[in-house]
Structure 1
């Protein structure tokens, strides 16, 4: 059976690294956003720090380590993200995340797929995945711009820093909502072949593409 390429090696690698960044951002950011609720995370950051500064408490030492790791991850993202943008921006017309058939039809096909377990008339991505993609782009943009202001706050006015703090929290809420949904849907039994394509082979069986992604198949069959 012929295999259709869904994701190339570069796209799969970038997706995996984005996950790595998100894990670091969440683990180091949650104690800063809600220190009372997630103070237990600070203990794990404090353990190696205590070897060098045993007189500090796990709250103060752990918070310092969390803040340093958060900023190091931010610098890493600022260095890594342009590689993805420069590589993929030329392929924007073929991103497959543009509307197909309108939102009402897209939602109807999505409900049909997940509630009746029948293939919907999807493109490469269904309506939910396209919304997720756009929210990810929006959230990433908000976090990058506001994060740059917070990272170099001495170069900005106090007013700009306060607005950056607000929008950074907005971006955090966006990811707090969409990431659990994305993880759940990625692990859903109906999406196993897509999960395999993203993390293993990069390809989907031709018969599967014909049945489950007919709009995409119409574009690539020739």
Structure 2
């Protein structure tokens, strides 16, 4: 339940940050997003509905971005600390495998998802709760979060010089692009026919068919049977 609530909040906050972020990244290109927001507000502020709508919409987008950013950061940090303290982080378990085995698994999984090639039997039998591609993408997400969060906090709370501000903006943009890369890969994975049961579980009761789990995370199932208990999320 906790994982599903956190995932839903992350989805909402990230969507808001992306929409407001791309507007601030290029107001001219994405003015159509903020015009409907600014149009009814501009006259209230004594501005022309035609020329002031974009200005007001951009300010609203900036305010939302600066409010949601720290809020989302606090959520991620709090939930992350909880997972570490409760020893519930499983996403990095595949990184315990030898590097050569990780690379071979990553290549096989890429070929499977992108080209429909079957997984080698030995790799399929040793898939954990999270595969190695998920581990790698999570590292990308962590780096993106550090870059976006650190630079964003600096921009908001520190008295930066113009040069420092430009550097922080560059770091912020790079972190944003990395987070988009993670998101696109994540969406591709969850809508892949192989993982539809996971997608349904996330938005329903959180449960997947045992037959699916035995096929797609057999190593994890063997660990559960060995411990006689199901580790937390």
TM (normalized to structure 2)? 0.81
Q: Post-superposition shift, 1:12?
A: 1.2
Determine which of 67, 76, 82 is the counterpart of 1:72. Answer: 67
Q: CA deviation at 1:111?
A: 3.8
Aligned residues: 213
Q: Following superposition of structure 1 onto structure 2, how do residues 18-97 of structure 1 map, counting pairs within 5 Å?
A: 18-50=10-42, 52-56=44-48, 57-92=52-87, 94-97=89-92
Whole-angstrom CA distance in 2 between matches of 1:197 and 1:117: 24
Residues 1:15 and 2:7 are matched in the alignment: yes
CA distance in 2, matches of 1:51, 1:131: 49
Report what 1:174 is aligned to.
178
Shift of 1:196: 1.9
Aligned counterparts, 1:118-129, within 5 A: 120-121=124-125, 122-129=127-134
Structure 1 residues 157 and 106: CA distance shift in structure 2, 3 A:
same
Structure 2: gaps (5+ residues):
227-233
* 3-state SS of 1:28 partner: helix
Q: Distance in 1 between matches of 2:128 and 2:110?
A: 15
The aligned runs of 1:199-214 (5 Å cut-off) are 199-214=203-218
Structure 1 residue ranges (4+ consecutive) displaced by more than 3 angstroms after TM superposition: 91-94, 156-160
Q: In the alignment, what sits opposite 2:200?
A: 196
Deviations 1:172-218 (A, max 9, x none): 11122221221122112111111122222222222221111112122
TM-score (norm 1): 0.85
Please give the root-mean-square deviation of Cα atoms over the aligned residues, in Å.
2.2
Cα offset, 1:138, TM superposition:
1.4
Q: Unmatched 5+ residue regions in structure 1?
A: 1-8
Offset at residue 157 of structure 1 (A): 4.6
